Structure formats: structure tokens, C-alpha cells
Amino acid sequence: MSTAPSTIATPAELGRVYQNFIGGEWRSSGSGQTFASTNPARTREVVGYYQKSTAADLDAAVAVAHAAQPAWAATPAPERGEVLLRAALLLEQQKEALAALMTREMGKVLKETLGDVQTAIDVAKFMAGEGRRAEGQTIPSGLREKFTMTVRQPLGVVGIITPWNFPLAIPAWKTFPALLAGNAVVLKPASDTPLLSLKMAELLHAAGLPAGVCNVITGPGGTLGDALASHKGVNMISLTGSTEVGRRVGAICGRDLRRCTLELGGKNAVIVLDDADIDLAVSSVSWGAFGTTGQRCTATSRVIVHETVAQAFTERLAAAAERLHIGDGLDPAVEMGPLVNVGRVAAVHEYTEIGQRAGAKLVTGGAPPTGDAYSDGAFYKPTIFADVSPDMRIAREEVFGPFVSILPASSYEEAIQIANSTEYGLSTAIFTNDVRAAFRAMRDIESGLVYINAPTTGAEIHLPFGGMKASGNGHRELGSKAVEEFSETKSIFVSYPARNS
């Protein structure tokens, strides 16, 4: 064991060694090994070294979670909510410093990392209020002298696996409702961005969360993620990740009949009809496609434009993309930061080559930017392809970068057909001034999230979040239903017949 680090790492602390947070203490892995997380804007800068955890470390985290969970479940729900409220206030106090840390480790610009931290704050406050809401229902019985109701009970130990693109928001919006429901948590964050999850656990502990109720272990997803998903002591897995990983984790959980919630990928479309406000559509697509450098599950990846306005739209979007200031996200003037690592640069560029080989027209971008400011970073230009057909790979596969395919359509019906033609169904937007088309789209679009005259990004924490088809397995995060996802529902029947005299 060692002394806990200060809550906020300053630039002088960059490159230090961080430990796992298990049982309210900082513990080194039994492996004796660490791995590095680097700043994607300056890849020679090491943000931190983290524990390369093993199955034995996972066993220890699950064991302390099991030991701590019954007492936490016995704590009244309003008291559990008060812990989350105190955590929200601590997050507020340290918002700017946490955002700067996140920009260093993940790369997205400060405006976005401040929003990421704010989402965690908002979820904590929302879930704190859920502690004083009714848990179940009272339901009329069909029989005389009988009372029926439902109650909600915790599952036990929840395993949470989170991605690197929202290093605090996604761990928060899974962990907080799981805790409010009375569960203990073992969280494994992505290896590219583990720091904010460790900070979150530390802040929860400072807010009064009992030791062992929230534990964070770091390590490789391929081994540690599988071990967590298959652990006999874990009652539920909540994963946000790629559809490929989701299928694997879902198969592991299905084998043991373990509850599993999956929030997966997307190939999100914006439909621009001929009566749309083109300038509004361009600004929305630019933000939806190139914000977070296109590294959101809800990022705009396809734009299906009515053929009569396709040229005007494409020209204006290309101009907007070329104006974006690319660079280190810590610079307030920068509008788009780097990809999360240099491997992602190669992966995105591969899709540029795929699009060119397929005959699509490269409008702008398609390469890393040049110059000394970009030589040590994982940067890639905003990339736009036109003349894309629905059967091309760039129109069907998730790129996860600043990459947009423009597909022409001759009618509303064709646009909807193209939008629904992929295996995904997470987020879709339509731009139109025709109220009839807007309401038809609400019905016809096969997505869990539908936006009218707004980008495909921008979920609000009090509404359910999740997708259809291969974008998930039907569960929803956020909103008042989130606590139910981390709970068991029990039906209770009480008979009170009169006594025989």
C-alpha cells in the first residue's frame, strides 16, 4: 500500500506512477508491471504510468466489493444519494483542473473536456435526486384482501468497462446509477485514458463512499476485460465499446446468464432535405462530425443530401472543415485536437485509401497535417468524401475519426432507406422545415436517438441513451430508468384474509 496521490495532478506530476484503487486504498499490481499513457498532441510526453493488472488483482477487487456491498445496500437510498451529491460538488470545485488533465491524456479540446466533466457533475446531481424517488409501484390485485407491489433491489457487484473517448462522463453515467441502486462497482477504464476514472474513485471516497464500494483497476482490455466479464463473482457487466467487443462480451455473459448492458458503435446519418436551412445543416454537421475529432459513438459519419442541394452543401461543409484550427487541445484557439493515439491515425487513413479505391471523390483532407506543430502528434485533417454510394465500405463501417461520407438522395423516401441501410441504429438527424417530413422521420428512422434540425451529438442526461440493431442490446443508459438497469425487480404479494372466528 502507499499514500494516496493528491486529487489533482499538476503538469509537474506528469509521468508519475498511479496505482489501482481497491478497498479505499492505492495498491500496486502483483505483476510488478506498468504501462504508459501519453499525450496524443505530444506523444513523447508521458501523462502517467498505470498498473498492468492481473487476474489476481481483479480477484482482490471483486472480493472487497463483495464484502462492502451488503452494508452499502442497507444504507438508505437518500443517504446514498447524498454521497453522490457531495461527489458532484467536489467535481465542480476541480472542474477546470480535471478538464486539463483529460485534454492531456485524451486530446480533445478544453471546451469539450469541460463539457465531459460537467456531464459527470450533472449525472451525479441527477442520481442524487433519484435517491428520494419512489422505487417501485403499488399495483391493484385482482383478488380480494390482497395487496401487491414491486420493489427494486441491487444486483450485487457490477463490472463496468469504459472507452477512452469520454474518460469521465461515461464512467460516471454508469457508476453513479449503479451505486445509487446499492451495488458495489469494479471499474476497468480504457488503457488510453485511465486517469480520470482513478480521480473519480478518489473523489467518491472523499465524498464518503465506504471503502470497497467503488474499485478501479487498470490494464489491457483483451485480457482484463474478458476476465471481468467472465468472473463468477460479478453479477452484471456494463460495457461501452465497439460492436465487435460488444459481441464478444455479450457471448461471455450469455454463457453464464450474466446480465449485460451494451452501448456500442454507430454509423450515424444526417439527412438534409431540399427545404433545409443549409447553413444550419453545415454548422451542425461540422460539429457533429469533427467535434472530439470524430471520436464519438454518436459522431456524424454519413450525410444524405437531397441531390438538388448536394453541391452547395458539400462546398460549404468543405469550407467549414478547412477553416478548423487543428492543434493541441490545451490551446483555447484550437477547434479540433488529435486522435487518441498514432494507431488511430493509420486506421483513419486506411479508410481514406478505401474510399479512393472505391471511386468516391475526396473533397478535402485525407491526410495528416504537415508542419513542426504536428510532427509529434496523432493529428489528421477533417476529411470529406462525396459521390459515395450506400454499398461502399466508407458508408457502412464505423471509422471513428474526422471522416464524413456524402451520399446523394432524390427523395425523402430514398434518404430514409439509405439512413436505415447499415447494421447500426444509434443516432440520426434530419434537417427540414417541413413539419410533416419531421414527424414522418420520427416514425421512420431506425435509431435510438433522433434529432430534428440538430446534430447527431448532444444527448441530455435526463433522457434515455442507447441504440437499436448492432448499436446495443436494447438497454438504455441515463435518465430515470438508468437505476433500473442496475437493479432487480421483485414482485410482492400480501394476503390479509379475515381470521376465522
Query: Residue 354 is placed in which grid cell?
Result: 478505401
186 and 152 both lie in a single domain: yes
Residue 113 lies in a domain: yes
145 and 255 both lie in a single domain: yes
> What's at 477, amino acid-wise?
E
Rounded CA separation 196/239 (Å): 17
214 and 346 both lie in a single domain: no
| pLDDT tens-place string over residues 35-67 | 999 999 999 999 999 999 999 999 999 999 999
362 and 422 both lie in a single domain: yes
Residue 76 lies in a domain: yes
Residue 15 lies in a domain: no
Kindly report the CATH number assigned to the domain that includes residue 125.
Answer: 3.40.605.10
| pLDDT tens-place string over residues 62-91 | 999 999 999 999 999 999 999 999 999 999
**pTM score of the predicted model:** 0.95
Q: What does the pLDDT read at residue 182?
A: 98
User: Domain of 355?
Assistant: 268-452
Residue 273 lies in a domain: yes
Residue 135 backbone zone (phi > 0: left; psi -120 to 50: alpha; other: beta): alpha
Which is nearest to 361 in space by CA: 385, 393, 391?
385
213 and 357 both lie in a single domain: no
Residue 33 lies in a domain: no
Kindly report the CATH number assigned to the domain that includes residue 318.
Answer: 3.40.309.10
Q: How many domains in the chain?
A: 2
pLDDT in tens, the chain (501 residues): 333 333 444 565 788 999 999 999 999 999 999 999 999 999 999 999 999 999 999 999 999 999 999 999 999 999 999 999 999 999 999 999 999 999 999 999 999 999 999 999 999 999 999 999 978 899 999 999 999 999 999 999 999 999 999 999 999 999 999 999 999 999 999 999 999 999 999 999 999 999 999 999 999 998 899 999 999 999 999 999 999 999 999 999 999 999 999 999 999 999 999 999 999 999 999 999 999 999 999 999 999 999 999 999 999 999 999 999 999 999 999 999 999 999 999 999 999 999 999 999 999 999 999 999 999 999 999 999 999 999 999 999 999 999 999 999 999 999 999 999 999 999 999 999 999 999 999 999 999 999 999 999 999 999 999 999 999 999 999 998 899 999 999 999 999 998 875
Q: Which residues are catalytic?
A: 263, 297
411 and 396 both lie in a single domain: yes
Rounded CA separation 50/48 (Å): 6
Residue 361 lies in a domain: yes
Rounded CA separation 397/288 (Å): 17
Any bridge partners for residue 161, and if so which?
188, 239
246 and 301 both lie in a single domain: no
Task: Please count the CA atoms within 13 angstroms of the CA of 189 that sit on its side-chain side.
Answer: 32
404 and 313 both lie in a single domain: yes
152 and 224 both lie in a single domain: yes
